[in-house]
Structure 1
């Protein structure tokens, strides 16, 4: 399919709103699937570091 202009490409003979909305939804879903695990991973390691510090403080208090 060949388009005469960028506006014709964007409108896609009246179907552009459906085509581009599907692309937008797919992009949002893929970004979410990528970013949520990264955030959970960072949160997990932050919590583990806090727990390790807490255990270290408790151990130091028990020794001294």
Structure 2
């Protein structure tokens, strides 16, 4: 949980130091990646649970 604010602050500082919009990519990835990670983990768990369901019904 602490990583995202640190990476966001680093991206903002890098963008201001370079005087360009290069920090925008870092900011967008740092803010979107945790959301995508949680969503993909939920999908993975749901698929895995649905694959285990028929095996439990057969027993």
TM-score range, shorter chain: 0.5 to 0.7
- Cα RMSD between the aligned structures? 1.4
Structure 2 unmatched ranges of 5 or more: 1-17
Structure 2 length normalisation: TM-score?
0.61
Alignment size in residue pairs: 42
Runs of 4+ in 1 over 6 A off after TM superposition: none
Structure 1 unmatched ranges of 5 or more: 1-13, 59-64
Larger Rg: 1
Q: Which has the higher contact order (CA 8 A, sep 6+)?
A: 2
Structure 1 length normalisation: TM-score?
0.57
